[in-house]
Amino acid sequence: MTGNTEAVRVLAISGSLRQASSNSALVSAAVHVAPVGVEVSVYGELADVPPFNPDLDTNTAPIGVVRFRAALEACEAILICSPEYAHGVSGVLKNALDWIVTSGELMDKPIALINASGRATLAYASLRETLTTMSGRVIEDASVTIPLEGSRSRRRQHRAGRFFLPIAEGIARRAGSSCTSWCDTIATLLESLRNISVACGYF
């Protein structure tokens, strides 16, 4: 927790580099819906992390790696949202994680896994295994599936939802069965962020 704001700092990482990425949209939404006491910032530099090479993992590691490690060091919890590619987690995300096996920034850190696809079960199982092996703590109560794939109208609703977030957050707090899908998304994200902050000892 930060000394000044007493907020839980959550670093949100999207495993997709695609401009219109649904995973990146979820990560951005998390910034907007973060409840009081939770500060979400997006790590958007995965493309700057070079291909993992143990020979380069020295005291003078590449700058992209230094920045990634520093961002992880500066947060209390992590939120990861990644696409599944060929039944595995995205290469850019796995590559970045390989760089921190030895430096250990995940050690005991609470992690929320947000799956933007109902179909992507294999990548998430593998990601869990990787993160757990690296001594990260995947928090089950904060790990959810928010299926965004498949429906153009649904994606449109999510885009529209961004403009109504302040209102939608209020509605989402009282989420009932009549909520639109973006309201459900916000409610689910809120719950995930609350649960990750509980895992950090907040609330």
CB nearer to ligand FMN: pick between 87 and 159? 87
| CA–CA gap between residue 78 and residue 113 (Å, rounded) | 9
CB nearer to ligand FMN: pick between 19 and 60? 19
Quote the least distance from Cβ 46 to ligand FMN, whole Å. 12
Quote the least distance from Cβ 17 to ligand FMN, whole Å. 8
Quote the least distance from Cβ 120 to ligand FMN, whole Å. 4
Residue with the two structure tokens 């599936």: 145
Quote the least distance from Cβ 151 to ligand FMN, whole Å. 12
CB nearer to ligand FMN: pick between 22 and 195? 22
Counting every residue written for the chain, the total comes to: 203
CB nearer to ligand FMN: pick between 7 and 26? 26
Query: Encoding tokens for residue 126?
Result: 């593998």
| CA–CA gap between residue 16 and residue 4 (Å, rounded) | 32
**DSSP letter string over the chain?**
--TTT-PEEEEEEES---TT-HHHHHHHHHHHHPPTTEEEEEE--GGGSPPP-GGG-STT--HHHHHHHHHHHT-SEEEEE--EETTEE-HHHHHHHHHTTTT-TTTT-EEEEEES-SS-HHHHHHHHHHHHHTT-EE-GGG-EE---TT-HHHHHHHHHHHHTHHHHHHHHHT--TT--HHHHHHHHHHHHHHHHHHHTT--
CB nearer to ligand FMN: pick between 16 and 197? 16
User: What residue ranges bind ligand FMN (CB under 6 A)?
Assistant: 16, 18, 21-24, 83-87, 117, 119-120, 149
Quote the least distance from Cβ 144 to ligand FMN, whole Å. 16
CB nearer to ligand FMN: pick between 85 and 164? 85
Quote the least distance from Cβ 65 to ligand FMN, whole Å. 23
